[in-house]
Structure 1
Amino acid sequence: MNFITHYTWILLIPAVLVWVTRAVIRTSGALHILQLEGYKSARFLRWLVHNPKRMLDIKELIALVDLLILALIAYFFNVKTLTLPVFILLWIAIELYFIITHKPIKAKRPLVYTARASRLFRFAIFLIIGSVVIVISQSGGLSIWRLNGDQLYFQFMVLFAFTSVLNQLSAINLTLANVLLYPVERSINAGYFRQAQERIKKLKPKVIGITGSYGKTSTKYILQKILSQRFNSLMTPDSYNTPMGICKVINGQLKPEHEIFIVEMGAYKRGEIKELCELTQPEIGVLTAVGAQHLERFKSIDNIANTKYELIESLPPNGIAVFNNDNEICRRLADKTTIKTVRYGINTSDDTVKLTAKDIKNTSRGLIFNVEDSSGASAEFRTKLLGGNNVYNILAATAVALECGMTLSEVSRAVGMLAPIPHRLQLIPSGNGVTVIDDGFNANPVGAKAALEVLDSFETGRKILITPGMVELGELEFKENKIFGEQAAKVCDFVILVGPNRTKPILEGLREAGFPEENIIIAKSLAEASERMREMVKAGDVVLFENDLPDTYNE
């Protein structure tokens, strides 16, 4: 073995290490998005099509292509200075540079290495390494250890190109791994599902299911706080509203002492809420609203309505269905429901409504209103929660609490103790005299309008809105965001738009409403928007952060 060949084999060790490290980094980044997409390969592939720059590292690709071109020129023109060891050293240097300078995207929902994520990650790395091993070990293939001299040089160029392409396509490799592991994951999930089903049947808590296009998470938090005054209750945390998330709660947190189990139920397609009901067997179902949220996935409002109604259809004959009577679609669904229904609304004279809120005072310090039931009983409700939309959430929770045996006065006391719900019109102390309203988890037209009403309720200081707009509204997205811009123009002194492309409808609405151009700021990211806000605010100002896009969005 000559001098050059000897050092070639030595350099292959760090070359393989940096290549594997780069594969790990790229695979983990893709896994984060796949996890956010619920491990749905089709949805992940659609995301890749719309975000090619998140799959391919263009700078790295250009550097590696340049190196390959240089090496091929050296090979064909017999340039002795670019020997194979020099080429490998340059490759290592390039990969090390991109490893060292790699800056992970600051995630709002970071990757969680659950058992499934860990299995998938390991299998994806196995596939990518296995592909290289198979290629170089095939007889007549890239069997680089059997070659020397020019043969070795050229074959290494081919291997270099192959491994570089594999790394760039880590997301595709991950998708393949996800598809291949699907039967295994399905079997594992079925086991978890059966275990959770059996636990529910054994412990027999009263299960309350909550669904809707919006308002379900807030209603869940409010209901749990109210019921906890009398019952030992458990709710699904945060946004645990999928089968496996709920199974995890049942198998790990539900105890014999829990009398009531409150379950938030989310869905992106028909049949998913029905599956959750087969798992949890709810006795009471709450439908907070049906609207355009997630219309992009459901394709039609009818599909959304039918999917949400799966909760009501799954209730037993002695079950109780709770509806927001002010929502037109909910009202129609309530009309066709044959089991016991409880309807709630605001300032209504409809005699089918059991629970009504009246005399509502929506202030910057919270809500004050009276609640009356169909029997004539009433109570004053006071809460620190902001926004007219929370009146509906409180009414929904009150309706359920009354059906569970609590009184209006008990519910009123519990409502008075409610703490702000994280990221839902939550007041954040700033320490510099600036009031910050965090409504980052709000992404529907009704909630956005309510947030602007809260902002408008502050009597002093300048009013500043920071928003990327609303998403997943399908064909209504442009229209609703434009309306949002028109509404903001009537309330705000300054508007900071996050994302030049995504916020064009809001910008159009602002301009058509005659909002001053000099008071509109367009930022490329939330970080930039926050920095611009810090530069301009002064004591007494009120800042509303309206919606925060998930990590699957570029802007």
Structure 2
Amino acid sequence: MIAELAFVIALVALVLVRLDTLMAYFQQEEYATRRFLAAIPRVRLYDLRATGVVAVALVLGLATGLWAVLLLLAAAALAGIAWDEARYKWKKPLVMTDRAWRIQALARLMSLPVLALALVHPLLAVVMLHLLPLQLIAANALLNPYQTRINRRYVAAARAKLERLDPVRIGITGSFGKTTVKHILAELLELSGPVFYSRGSINTELGLTRHIRQRLQPAHRYFVAEMGAYGIGSVRRLCDFVRPRYGIVTAVGAAHMERFGSLEAVAQAKSELVEAVCASGGLAVINAELLAHDPFAKLKAAHPDHVLTVGEGGDVAVAAELQGSDWQITLSGGGLDIAYALPLLGEHNILNSALAVALAARLDPSVIERLPLVTRVVEQVPHRLQKREAPGQPLVLDDAFNSNETGFANALRVLRQVADQRGGRAILVTPGIVELGLEHERVHARLGALAADCCDEIHAVNPGRIASFVQAAKAGGATVHGADTLGSARAALKGAAPEDVILYENDLPDILEERRLL
């Protein structure tokens, strides 16, 4: 009886730890059943070690009859597995939100009957461990109606607060550059009045809802909402929620092609912000390149006074040259004549800043005189080609939040330029880009070829996922090292010299980085 009790106690410990492990991955997949099911074989979220322990114990028990001893040994092994798994170093650890607590609690309750049956036969313990992912899915499904009611209540409260306080509402969307433009615009608009904007990359209805409920104040004159698109209609729903009178669309590109399937679909989704702004009688500031896509061209033709194009061939021309470490940028046309300096790295930030400056100047012309004072000291956006420097250490270019080909290519060119200035090596650490769909291999092949030209050393994280990148880089003569995780890549760089430059390009969550051995 003592052996059976020890076995069950160890099993309970393992179940509790395993549910936490699986819940972290489920949360990283945003509680999406299909994506989580797809991750189970990809990340190997099924049990191997405990299954092996129980199988060996059963075989030896049948052969020797020493059931008590073998159960005690199995209990010790299960406890060791639980201890080891609990010590896993997460890049993005589980956040126990109210929703996570509810799902976790229900999944634990669902485990109790099988735990009891494990007293009848140890083989049932193995069955239970393999059912744990399905229990989380089932718990989430059962709680979904309740969660939906909660979400609706929170959204309604946020919408009512937004209507009551009624700040000037601005939406920002695009395949990439949204967060950078949002931060630059917010800093510029502070010259005109207090600005409320979502921190980081919050760009969903529920994310904006939480920030509005918790942080929006009557003193805020402007509300800047980043708008993510997960399919056609996503931005329209966010516009129905925020009701923006002004907007910026940064770009249409291959980012998230896995969700949309084509650039035309991406363009249609992003144009929903312009459509909403034009309907409100406001102003949408867009990248002039977007006129190559029908939805934007039609909106510009139908609402010429409500769509301002910025960039080559647009209403507002942009000229820039690099002087020292700053860009000297001039905007002309469209009623604007502005010159300013920008300290941000990367050519892509020329247009990012131009879009923000153009809208800020239209929102409040009185800020134009002071814009050069602000843009010269605009803060680096965290994890967007951000410089990190420490005495005696290599310079780090942190581009961890980038997820598009254009930004990746610009970062590589900056890496080469800065490394040449410092007289050190250009070192790249990257797991590649996600959600490219059918473009995955082609995009990574192009980036691999460019990386070979720009880098002295490349560390590919989870290289099997970006095989075309690795092959193209090697074909270009680059020195390429593989690493299972970002942590192991960092460990390999401990000997980097102070004059070296290390670019961390993109940082994928655990669910995309490595396979587990559970």
Cα deviations by residue, 1:330-356 (Å, 9 ceiling, x for unpaired): 6851443434001111xx3x3xx2333
2:463 aligned partner = 500
1:128 aligns with 2:128: no
- Offset at residue 11 of structure 1 (A): 5.2
- Offset at residue 291 of structure 1 (A): 0.7
Q: 1:127/1:261 Cα in 2 relative to 1: closer, same or farther (>3 Å)?
A: same
Q: For 1:376 and 1:184, how far apart are their aligned partners in 2?
A: 51
1:50 aligns with 2:13: no
1:163 aligns with 2:153: no
- Offset at residue 362 of structure 1 (A): 7.1
Q: For 1:423 and 1:490, how far apart are their aligned partners in 2?
A: 24
2:416 aligned partner = 456
1:321 aligned partner = 284
- Offset at residue 300 of structure 1 (A): 2.0
2:474 aligned partner = 511
Which of 5, 21, 24 aligns to 2:16? It is 24
Letter in 2 for 1:360: E
- Offset at residue 95 of structure 1 (A): 1.5
2:309 aligned partner = 343
Moved more, 318-327 or 86-95: 86-95
Q: For 1:488 and 1:240, how far apart are their aligned partners in 2?
A: 30
2:207 aligned partner = 245
Which of 8, 16, 25 aligns to 1:33? It is 25
Q: For 2:42 and 2:239, how far apart are their aligned partners in 1?
A: 34
Secondary structure of 1:534 counterpart: coil
1:404 aligns with 2:363: yes
**Aligned 1:325-404 pairs, distance under 5 A:** 325-327=288-290, 329=292, 333-337=296-300, 338-339=302-303, 340-345=306-311, 348=312, 350=313, 353-361=314-322, 365-375=325-335, 377-379=337-339, 381-404=340-363
- Offset at residue 205 of structure 1 (A): 1.3
- Offset at residue 232 of structure 1 (A): 0.9
Which of 101, 108, 131 aligns to 2:91? It is 108
- Offset at residue 102 of structure 1 (A): 2.1
Q: Which structure is larger by alpha-carbon Rg, 1 or 2?
A: 1
Moved more, 161-170 or 113-122: 161-170
Indicate if the aligned counterparts of 1:325 and 1:331 stay in contact, CA closer than 8 A.
no
Cα deviations by residue, 1:428-477 (Å, 9 ceiling, x for unpaired): 01321522111111121100111122113222322222222222111111
- Offset at residue 59 of structure 1 (A): 1.9
Q: CA RMSD in A?
A: 2.2
Q: For 1:479 and 1:226, how far apart are their aligned partners in 2?
A: 38
Question: Normalization by structure 1: what TM-score?
Answer: 0.86
Q: For 1:238 and 1:68, how far apart are their aligned partners in 2?
A: 52
Q: For 1:88 and 1:512, how far apart are their aligned partners in 2?
A: 54
Q: For 1:394 and 1:24, how far apart are their aligned partners in 2?
A: 49
1:548 aligned partner = 507
- Offset at residue 478 of structure 1 (A): 0.9
**Aligned 1:182-331 pairs, distance under 5 A:** 182-315=144-277, 316-327=279-290, 329=292
Secondary structure of 2:511 counterpart: coil
1:151 aligned partner = none
- Offset at residue 376 of structure 1 (A): 5.6
Q: 1:220/1:412 Cα in 2 relative to 1: closer, same or farther (>3 Å)?
A: same
Letter in 2 for 1:91: A
- Offset at residue 375 of structure 1 (A): 3.0
Identity %: 30
1:65 aligns with 2:31: no
1:94 aligned partner = 77
Secondary structure of 1:431 counterpart: coil
- Offset at residue 329 of structure 1 (A): 4.6
1:434 aligned partner = 394
Q: 1:130/1:220 Cα in 2 relative to 1: closer, same or farther (>3 Å)?
A: farther
Secondary structure of 2:510 counterpart: coil
Q: 1:355/1:14 Cα in 2 relative to 1: closer, same or farther (>3 Å)?
A: farther
Letter in 1 for 2:84: T
Q: 1:21/1:461 Cα in 2 relative to 1: closer, same or farther (>3 Å)?
A: same
1:4 aligned partner = none
Q: For 2:438 and 2:291, how far apart are their aligned partners in 1?
A: 20
Tell me, which stretches of 5 or more residues in structure 2 are unaligned? none
Q: 1:328/1:475 Cα in 2 relative to 1: closer, same or farther (>3 Å)?
A: farther
Letter in 2 for 1:56: Y
Question: Normalization by structure 2: what TM-score?
Answer: 0.92
- Offset at residue 192 of structure 1 (A): 0.9
2:141 aligned partner = 179
Q: For 1:321 and 1:189, how far apart are their aligned partners in 2?
A: 30
Secondary structure of 2:512 counterpart: coil
Q: 1:443/1:361 Cα in 2 relative to 1: closer, same or farther (>3 Å)?
A: same
For these two proteins, the number of residue pairs brought into alignment is: 506
Q: For 1:495 and 1:260, how far apart are their aligned partners in 2?
A: 43
1:119 aligns with 2:112: no
Letter in 1 for 2:327: L
- Offset at residue 45 of structure 1 (A): 1.3
Secondary structure of 2:380 counterpart: coil
Moved more, 121-130 or 211-220: 121-130
Cα deviations by residue, 1:471-527 (Å, 9 ceiling, x for unpaired): 2111111111111111122222222222231232122222333x25xx332223222
- Offset at residue 370 of structure 1 (A): 2.0
Letter in 1 for 2:93: P
Secondary structure of 1:251 counterpart: helix
Q: For 1:177 and 1:329, how far apart are their aligned partners in 2?
A: 46
Q: For 2:124 and 2:233, how far apart are their aligned partners in 1?
A: 43
Q: For 2:27 and 2:8, how far apart are their aligned partners in 1?
A: 28
Q: For 2:399 and 2:9, how far apart are their aligned partners in 1?
A: 45
Indicate if the aligned counterparts of 1:322 and 1:343 stay in contact, CA closer than 8 A.
yes
Q: For 1:475 and 1:104, how far apart are their aligned partners in 2?
A: 37
Indicate if the aligned counterparts of 2:53 and 2:74 stay in contact, CA closer than 8 A.
no
Tell me, which stretches of 5 or more residues in structure 1 are unaligned? 1-7, 137-141, 145-155
Cα deviations by residue, 1:73-129 (Å, 9 ceiling, x for unpaired): 45xxxx3xx24x445423321221112222544333322111111111111111111
Q: For 2:275 and 2:58, how far apart are their aligned partners in 1?
A: 62
Indicate if the aligned counterparts of 1:362 and 1:386 stay in contact, CA closer than 8 A.
no
Q: For 2:184 and 2:32, how far apart are their aligned partners in 1?
A: 32
Letter in 2 for 1:548: D
Indicate if the aligned counterparts of 2:47 and 2:129 stay in contact, CA closer than 8 A.
no
- Offset at residue 392 of structure 1 (A): 1.5
- Offset at residue 290 of structure 1 (A): 0.9
Q: 1:273/1:327 Cα in 2 relative to 1: closer, same or farther (>3 Å)?
A: closer
